[in-house]
A and B are shown apart, each in its own frame.
Chain A
Amino acid sequence: QKEVEQDPGPLSVPEGAIVSLNCTYSNSAFQYFMWYRQYSRKGPELLMYTYSSGNKEDGRFTAQVDKSSKYISLFIRDSQPSDSATYLCALYTGGFKTIFGAGTRLFVKA
């Protein structure tokens, strides 16, 4: 079993839709939960990080962590074509090693 499971998609939505991206994990030692966005042929860029359970909002993006279910989500409101990218969840125990999900490819159609 992989430490982090993420549906690779692709996920295709119309412009303006609410997008829900999810990851599940198995190691309860993970304390920090991050979402990265990666455009084609570019390096990942950090979108959001959260510590412990709960919600965190930043503009059109909301990150949600449920540690009891080992489930994390990223919601994108009012999705735009410029949001089309691969979204990677990433989990960190507080040492040095970050574990990435496989990424979900998102397409937002104009």
Chain B
Amino acid sequence: DTGVSQDPRHKITKRGQNVTFRCDPISEHNRLYWYRQTLGQGPEFLTYFQNEAQLEKSRLLSDRFSAERPKGSFSTLEIQRTEQGDSAMYLCASSSPGTGGTDTQYFGPGTRLTVL
């Protein structure tokens, strides 16, 4: 399977604990995105990497959240001191700029986080 993969698929943690999620994008894609999706809502943009550079972070991303993409390959999203409001599906997507300015993003299956 050459699609976007995410690990773990599910994570249950207690409030105050730290969690880390991993995303492996499609190998030839240089762009990588993290989104958060809550029930009944569309994905909300969190952050964006072009190769290894983190070019944009949403104001939604508090200082408890950090993301890395070492060597421009896989990416990790860490949430420190988790809160119940962090419970959501965390989606990763990757893309490669297309002709005509398009940016077709391919999504992974997501990591569902539950904070107790």
Chain A residues in the interface with B (C-beta under 8 A): 4, 6, 8, 31-32, 34, 36, 41-46, 49, 51, 88, 90, 92, 94, 96-103
Instruction: Contacts A32-B102, A43-B4 given; indicate if A96 touches B31 (C-beta within 8 A).
Output: yes
A98 to B50, CA, bound (A): 15
Q: A43-B4, A102-B42 are in contact. Are A92 and B103 (CB under 8 A)?
A: yes
Is B65 part of the binding interface, using a Cβ–Cβ cutoff of 8 Å? no
Does B101 sit within 8 A of A, measured CB to CB?
Answer: yes
| Contacts A31-B101, A43-B108, A96-B103 supplied; 15 other A-B pairs, CB < 8 Å | A32-B103, A34-B104, A41-B112, A44-B107, A45-B107, A46-B106, A49-B104, A51-B102, A88-B42, A88-B43, A96-B55, A97-B45, A98-B105, A101-B42, A103-B41
B40 within 8 A of A: yes
Give how many A-B residue pairs fall within 8 Å (CB-CB). Answer: 65
- Asked whether, in the complex, the Cβ of A100 is within 8 Å of the Cβ of B106, the reply is no
Chain A interface, DSSP helix/strand/loop, else mixed:
strand
A43 to B34, CA, bound (A): 12
Restricting to B61-105, which residues have a CB under 8 Å from any CB of A?
A: 91, 93, 100-105
Select from chain A the residue with minimum beta-carbon distance to B105. Answer: A98
B106 touching A96, Cβ below 8 Å: no
The 3 A-B pairs with the shortest beta carbon distances in the complex, nearest first, are A100-B42, A43-B107, A94-B101
